Amino acid sequence: MVTTIEGLDADGLVPKPIATEILTKAAEASVVQRLAGTMPVPLEGAAVAVQTGHIEAGVVGEGELKPVGGTSYSSKTIKPIKVAAISIHSKELRRRNPLGVLENIKADLSGAITRSFDLAVMYGRNAKTGGLISDVEYINQTTNRVILGTTAITDGGIAKDLLNGYDLVVNGDQVNDDFTGFAADRRLRSRLVGAVDNQGRPIFQQSVDLKNPVDNVLGLPAAYGKAVSGRVGASPASNVLAFGGDWGGIKYGFAEQMTLSVSDQATIVDGGDTYHLWQQNLEAYLVEAIFGWVITDTDSFVAYQSAAVTPAVTAATPSGAAAGATVTVEGSGFTGVSGAGGVKFGSSNATSYTVVDDSTIAAVVPAGSAGTANITVTNAAGTSNSFGYTRG
């Protein structure tokens, strides 16, 4: 049996004013939602037309045939993603401060939605497990990368680095080749505040001022959020400091209804812990939301990164893979991994590998005998830890 609290209907749905407030708070905090466009999201998923070419008009002389042209399209499928979380607390706590508990739930829910949404769109990862979400596109799949700090101050410094990323996007072959703003990690703000020209004068403000939000970079809006770095929940951090590009190339939406239910009789398993709510005089709140998005072209974006860091390997799945099978290697610092020896199983090079993003590599197991074949990853900064792996 599911109990209800005042303000919730019998089906456990969040009242519309509360749901609206939650989504509003989430939108205000989300970097993606502040920069991108919205669209309706059907719960069952849907194919969305994506423009891949423009119609062009030609000059027509007197008596000549008018030219024929057309706009080309492809389709992409929205994959609705459900996010959920359970919060457990004592009944006594709620009874002492019922309004406070509900307010806390609203605040926690808006924050959870924001972090999960931004991480999914930018990195395609599950904030709870850190694993990749299957069959979705995400911004960090862009092939456009710029290392911040590459350009000398005398040649324009970080401003030139940002412009180099701008050029990668607007000079590309993709349909969405505008550049409308930046989503940035908060660590970038201090670099922008401290940026100076070759005469020591601040570039992005008149004087160094940490109170300045630096929400305008090179005349374009900049939104800051934790998820830009990938450091959310169990998701590994990357060396990305900002994404810039054509945010009009992303369309997202939330399903109309969000659910909030409460129970005092369920049995809840959390890893190795089991909670018997009725017996322990506890209550549990379950919150759920559904969202989806499409990206016209991931190369409508550029990733601005810090210099390469030594890779770290934290996971490899599936275990026991035999020669020719693909293993997903997860960790951090994979940007810049290249060459035959970039990924090794023991002393043998992977048959081939693809750097999916800064924290994921898909590697093919080389020929060899079953047994221990610890995985290492190498880039210009060095070689990772030797991650224990047993191959088939």
CATH 3.40.50.1470 fits 16-52+72-133+250-295, yes or no: no
| Count of CA atoms in the C-beta half-sphere (13 A) of 60 | 9
Query: Residue 44 carries which DSSP code?
Result: T
Structure tokens at 104: 């806390």
The partner residues of 269 in beta bridges, in order of sequence, read: 274
How many residues can be counted in the chain?
Answer: 392
CB-based contacts of 372, cutoff 8 Å, min separation 6: 346, 388, 389, 390, 391
> 140-248+297-305 sits in which CATH class?
alpha beta
C-beta of residue 249 within 8 angstroms of C-beta of residue 176: yes
Q: What phi, psi does 333 have (nearest 5°)?
A: 75, 25
Encoded tokens for 138: 């995400």
Are the C-beta atoms of residues 255 and 41 closer than 8 Å to each other? yes
Q: What pLDDT shows up at residue 288?
A: 80
Rounded distance between C-alpha atoms, residue 347 and residue 249, angstroms: 43
Domain 312-391 homologous superfamily, CATH? Immunoglobulins (2.60.40.10)
Strand, coil or helix: 232? coil
Fill in the DSSP letter of residue 141.
G
Q: Would you give per-residue pLDDT tens digits along the chain (392 residues)?
A: 233 334 444 444 445 565 555 555 555 578 998 898 776 666 555 666 555 565 677 787 787 776 776 566 566 777 888 888 887 878 777 676 655 665 666 667 667 878 899 999 999 999 988 888 988 999 999 999 999 999 998 899 999 999 999 999 999 776 667 999 999 998 898 889 888 888 888 888 777 777 777 888 999 999 999 899 998 888 888 889 999 999 988 988 887 556 677 788 889 988 888 999 999 888 887 878 888 898 989 999 999 998 878 999 999 999 999 999 999 999 888 888 989 999 999 999 999 999 988 889 999 999 999 999 999 999 988 999 999 999 99
Residues 6+ apart with CB under 8 A from 192: 158, 203, 204, 214, 217
Model pLDDT, residue 2: 30
Rounded to an integer, what is the distance from CA 19 to the centroid of its chain? Answer: 23
Contact 232, 113 (CB under 8 A): no
The residue among 305, 363, 302 whose CA lies nearest residue 330 is 363
Predicted confidence at residue 346, as pLDDT, reads 95
Report which DSSP code applies to 340. T
The domain ranges of the chain are: 16-52+72-133+250-295, 140-248+297-305, 312-391
Strands 73-78 and 81-90: unpaired
Distance (Å, whole) CA 122 – CA 184: 11
In three-state secondary structure terms, 15 is coil
Beta bridge partners of 327: 363
CA dihedral of 149, 176, 134, 364, whole degrees rounded to 10: -60
Instruction: Name the CA radius of gyration of the chain, rounded.
Output: 25
Place of tokens 């412009």: 163
**Cβ-proximal residues to 272 (8 Å cutoff; 6+ apart), any chain:** none
Assess contact for 176 and 247: CB atoms under 8 A: no
pTM for this entry = 0.75
User: 39: exposed, middle or buried (C-beta count within 10 Å: 0-12, 13-18, 19+)?
Assistant: middle
User: 158, 146, 240, 155: which is closest to 202 by C-alpha?
Assistant: 158
Structure tokens at 54: 């423009």
Counting other chains too, the contacts that 8-15 makes at CB distance below 8 Å and 24 or more residues apart are: 8/260, 8/261, 8/262, 11/259, 12/259, 12/260, 12/261, 12/262, 13/257, 13/258, 13/259, 13/260, 14/257, 14/258, 14/259, 14/260
**SS3 call for 109:** helix
